[in-house]
Amino acid sequence: MAEAQSNPDALPAVVADGVVKQFGRLAALRGVSAQFAAGRLYVILGDNGAGKTTLLRTLAGLAQPTRGTISILGTTSVRSVCTQIGYMAHPSLLYDEMSGMENLRYFAGLYGIEDDRTANDRCREVIASVKLDPELERPVGQYSQGMRQRMSLARALLNDPKLLLLDEPFSNVDSRSAQEMAVLLAQMRDRGKTLFVVTHQPGLLEDVADEFVRMDAGKIVNRNAKLRVASQ
């Protein structure tokens, strides 16, 4: 199973030390300090406004902590490890006017996957892994919400990241597709990747998650392997 579980001395994937994130006078994160081992699947829970998305954006390097430090994959410079991070946001991060394949080909170029054949193969592989048809020529704007979510996940997987940050991957996805996505996430964890999944449907990951992390008012208030305990 996970690398970190077999080797407890392995470097933690993420270390947050007193992380505060303020937007004007509003503190979205209020001193988050935690270590997260590599090769595990973490589910982040909490009500709206608890700071889940801000935590994910901070880990992705899209927001800088106002105070405190974050170390990712052994470095405090998120930029230097950005090729090893995959980020899926609540919006799709895709161009509505282009097909799924065209979108992924563009983003593959940004990650240095230049060669036409390699890029096409990689894009087809990740699109197929989320159970979509790589040959679909329809622009993403005409996809159903569920298909868009899956294509968005495919984009996050494009660079074969070690650390995956997923914000609401199951929202608007039908239950069968959501189950399939949960299985895919578990497989990625089993291949040694570290996953952070923000979701309001933690039940979908109850059997596969290693830890449930509950946030409230910008702080981590509970961490437990059991969903029922973490939710309390």
The residues of the shown chain that bind another protein, judged by CB under 8 A, are 23, 60-64, 79, 82-83, 85, 87, 89, 91-98, 102, 106-107, 109-114, 139, 155
Closest to 37 (Cα-Cα) out of 161, 158, 159, 162: 162
- 113 vs 105, 151, 159, CA distance in Å? 9, 18, 8
Kindly tell me which of 109 and 203 has the beta carbon lying closer to another protein: 109
Least distance from C-beta 76 to another protein, angstroms?
16
Least distance from C-beta 111 to another protein, angstroms?
6
Which 3-state string (H, E, C) describes 13-29? CEEEEEEEEEECCEEEE
Contact 89, 59 (CB under 8 A): no
Give the phi and the psi of residue 57 in degrees, each rounded to 5. Answer: -65, -35
Kindly tell me which of 61 and 68 has the beta carbon lying closer to another protein: 61
Range list of β-strands (E), the chain: 14-23, 26-36, 41-45, 67-72, 85-88, 163-167, 194-198, 211-216, 219-224
Least distance from C-beta 70 to another protein, angstroms?
14
Kindly tell me which of 23 and 74 has the beta carbon lying closer to another protein: 23
Least distance from C-beta 58 to another protein, angstroms?
11
**Residue 145, number of CB atoms within 10 A of its CB:** 12
Least distance from C-beta 36 to another protein, angstroms?
19
Kindly tell me which of 53 and 199 has the beta carbon lying closer to another protein: 53
Kindly tell me which of 153 and 209 has the beta carbon lying closer to another protein: 153
